[in-house]
Amino acid sequence: MRIVYHLGAHCTDEDRLVKCLLKNRGVLADQGIIVPSPTRYRKLMRDTAVQLRGQAASEKTQALILEQIMDETEAERLILSWDSFLSFPAWAVRGSLYIFAGERIRAFTQIFPDIEAEFHLAIRNPATFLPALQAKVNAKGHEDVLANIDPLHLRWSDAVQQILAQNPDVPLTIWCDEETPLIWPEVLLQVSGHAAGTPLVDDDDVLSMIMSETGMARMKAFCAEHPPKSVAQRRRIVTAFLEKFARPDRVEMEIDMPGWTEEIVEDMTARYLEDVDRIRRLPGVTLIEA
């Protein structure tokens, strides 16, 4: 068995991935892919990791935890998704992005030290990620998490390298949240590991969030009449329909942060793209790109 950890990050997925996989739990189970409800493992794993304090769980403890997470006696893949695997939102920015990501994830994998693991992570332009994170934290009544933070020097690659260093030989798949509507089927495939060509229910939910109902209907009709022959062709079709039927209020985000100028946002975006290129070259990383 292999355990698949979908790590978030915050303000990217918002549980859409695990909800989609849960809707397809039956067809995935036929392929040995188990998708338990998050309520069965998030608090359980958090409490267990705290109790273990970084130490490896015994075989007995591993068996007990698995019994609480899944009903099946065996599986090819077990999908666990939680955007707070990396950190809770209020501690996501402490001098750098997810400064304890590697150590924290290592603590979770020590719950099942004898089972192979793989990680999946969406990253997001700090220019939009930080305002969204601040809003998320404010909603919980926490203070300003961006105080004394220089947004121009926050790099996802720092967190990624920590994850790789603390969890050697564990494959890590990354994608940019901005590209998710174009690559969503590939993301679902990478995370679940289902057989190519397996039909999934509501696998266009992400795209429907930013495209009008008319656009979605016309695109589906077009694809039914002219089935895409490749991933690249499907993406070209999606791009063409988005250009005509995208919802402006969903694809254009106004950034209003104290002290942030248009020049700062442009600089942050340029640095983010450079950081993505840096991540692309890291050994052990697979980058899903549009």
- The CA distance from 62 to 74, in Å, is 14
Residue with tokens 């495209």: 211
Res. 130: pLDDT tops 90: yes
Q: How confident is the model at residue 73 (pLDDT cuts 50, 70, 90)?
A: confident
DSSP, res 5: E
Asked if 87 contacts 98 with a C-beta cutoff of 8 angstroms, the reply is yes
Res. 259: pLDDT tops 90: no
Asked if 163 contacts 172 with a C-beta cutoff of 8 angstroms, the reply is yes
What is the structure's pLDDT at 82?
97
Res. 253: pLDDT tops 80: no
Q: How confident is the model at residue 68 (pLDDT cuts 50, 70, 90)?
A: very high
What is the structure's pLDDT at 151?
93
Encode pLDDT of 196-238 as tens digits. Answer: 889 999 888 899 999 999 999 999 999 999 999 999 999 999 9
- The CA distance from 259 to 281, in Å, is 33
Domains, the chain: 2-199+258-288 (3.40.50)
Res. 35: pLDDT tops 80: yes
Phi-psi map region of 54: left, alpha, beta (phi>0 left; psi -120 to 50 alpha):
left
CA neighbor of 24 nearest in space, from 217, 192, 190, 187: 192
Among 34-38, 60-64, 211-215, 251-255, the minimum mean pLDDT is found in 251-255
**Cα 96 versus chain centre, distance:** 19
Res. 98: pLDDT tops 90: yes
Res. 149: pLDDT tops 80: yes
- The CA distance from 160 to 156, in Å, is 6
SS3 content of the chain, % helix, strand, coil (to 5): 50, 10, 35
Res. 252: pLDDT tops 80: no
Q: What is the mean pLDDT of the chain?
A: 94
- The CA distance from 261 to 47, in Å, is 42
DSSP, res 254: -
DSSP, res 272: H
Q: How confident is the model at residue 254 (pLDDT cuts 50, 70, 90)?
A: confident
Whole-number percent of the chain with pLDDT over 70: 100
Asked if 269 contacts 125 with a C-beta cutoff of 8 angstroms, the reply is yes
Asked if 177 contacts 17 with a C-beta cutoff of 8 angstroms, the reply is no
